[in-house]
Structure 1
Amino acid sequence: MARRAHDYDEDDVRVRPGRRGSRPRTRRRPAHEDACTGFVTAVDRGRYRCLVAGGTAGERPVTAMRARELGRKGVVVGDRVALVGDVSGAPDTLARIVRVEPRTSALRRTADDTDPFERIIVANAGRLVIVTALADPEPRPRMIDRQLVAAYDAGMEPLLCLTKADLADPAGLVAAYAPLGVPAVVTRRGGDLGELRDHLAGHTSVLVGHSGVGKSTLVNALVPDAERAVSHVNAVTGRGRHTSSSALALELPGGDGWIIDTPGVRSFGLAHVEPENVINAFEDLAAGAAERCPPHCDHFQEDCGLDGWVAEGHASRARLDSLRRLLASRDGEPDTTDTRDT
């Protein structure tokens, strides 16, 4: 006789185990309270080189990978991270990065001015060193302006480092950026770097610049055992070849700060930058913008209140002209002083 449905019991049913467990999923994640803190010094193909405090033995290098619980959160050079797993630093060991600590700053750029996806270059740096050659290759003011905008947006202090002063006079470029209050250091091949060292002491500084300006040469002089590859400028195109393929953090001799060398770039997109983040870096002009400018003023329109603010002597015309030049650079306006592509 056929059995009715309600006559079946658990012995008559075969449960086929699924691919996933039957335990309900939870958003709770391990706290990893025993995790140790590391400082990311290099990133290479999904592996992260970190420095971990080693007690009396000092800091030790540890290689790590990203843990699944990080999700899509990126890890960049300069990040402070929490590490678990094998943090001994022994050969062929691999730790896991389970947490990225809150960042004090993040230097960002986009591929171009229309790209909505921003990329964080380095984190937790306080100073942006804009390295520019005075010749071979020729300086690119528009690139300098864009990097200044990125520094102001990130809340970093900019420093202009002009290299190869033995080939050209730095006076004109120094004067062009004097109204912005940006300090400038001038170097020459084989010259003394004492002034630059003084600016870097006690800070974590990022060196940026397009290819061939001498960043790697500076790094090798500042950190003698860095052994960064050095390139030459192409005589036909006037451009340098990329010799640094990834960012690298290096400790200055005597533990007196860090420098982060970055790959040479030929473009610096600013699609992510809001004008307010730029003007707020100019306290004398920011006050006038808040008091006199109409809502959503782009500071180029006829009723911009900054012109009257300057006319009354609250700020200099040179400062306002420099600010507008930076904002024009952010908006992709052409720069007639630089005919090469960016």
Structure 2
Amino acid sequence: MTTTARTVVIAQTGGPQVLHLMDRPVGDPGPGEVRIRHKACGLNYIDVYYRSGMYPLALPHGIGMEAAGVIEAVGDGVTHLKAGDRAAYASQPPGACTEARVMPAAQVCPLPDAIGFDEGAAMMLQGMTVEYLFHRTVPLKAGDTVLFHAAAGGVGLIACQWAKSEGITLIGTAGSDAKCQLALDHGAAHMINYASEDFPARVRELTGGRGVDVVMDSVGRDTFEGSLDCLRPLGMMITFGNASGPVPPVDLAGLARRGSLQITRPTLFTHIADHETCQAMAAHLCDKVASGAVKITIGQRFALADVAVAHRALEARQTTGSTILTL
């Protein structure tokens, strides 16, 4: 069976204007693949990195990393899904911004009936990111203290709730008082408006001069140096995004001077490359959401045809919570 699907494609890198909607054929799944009909697609900052060329693609190429929908067909060797199953994913290769696609099955995960398609499309990349940050990069425990930048964003609001559910003190940053209040409402213990406050000084004040155990930073260049000043001796800096631009080369001797600090640059896709690990991470996330410990906040919905408008809003920091594209 071959059908077509409206698909967001880039033929060259650049601004949101390079995003184009076109019909593309969708065939049958081969061994280890599924065909999934999407109900909603997620939008994440990694999509901007691919569109701009920061993360290179062989062009032309589809774009988008997560979606939720219904499995239409499975190829040989696929045993964890069957036709008719509800499913969601955050996965390589890019191409999720489409009505339907054939893709590798290993990172496509069952979606419980208790979680809607919109929530499923909004939570997989961001929620599994929080899962690996809290449980696989530096396993955190009750009583630990974390500084989390962009706490009012999609990943941040999940992190605020996740931290509260596990007794972890989360100090967040955001760029406005309204965003700070939103993160507090979602479980942040303290919020810092970095537009009007010196966030390293405020973190030191909030921690009695000790510093935090871990910094989780997806902003990149603008917050990196200040973040190092927020860590306790032997603390861990996790840089997992570049929203303000790439972090410049790091002076390793400076890490020693600041107290033998540790630093890592993980990615979700390294963690989920193993099928069993990916499925376990997704199940952990689904349990958190189904139990009510984590609620997925969808701050914006855009039609698939308005994907360029959605990208502009994301880059202008005009979004809160998660953003989805509707079909």
Q: State TM-score, norm by structure 1.
A: 0.33
- Which has a greater percent of helix? 2
- Which has a greater percent of strand? 2
Q: State TM-score, norm by structure 2.
A: 0.34
Give the number of the structure with larger relative contact order, counting CA–CA contacts within 8 Å between residues 6 or more apart. Answer: 2
Larger Rg: 1
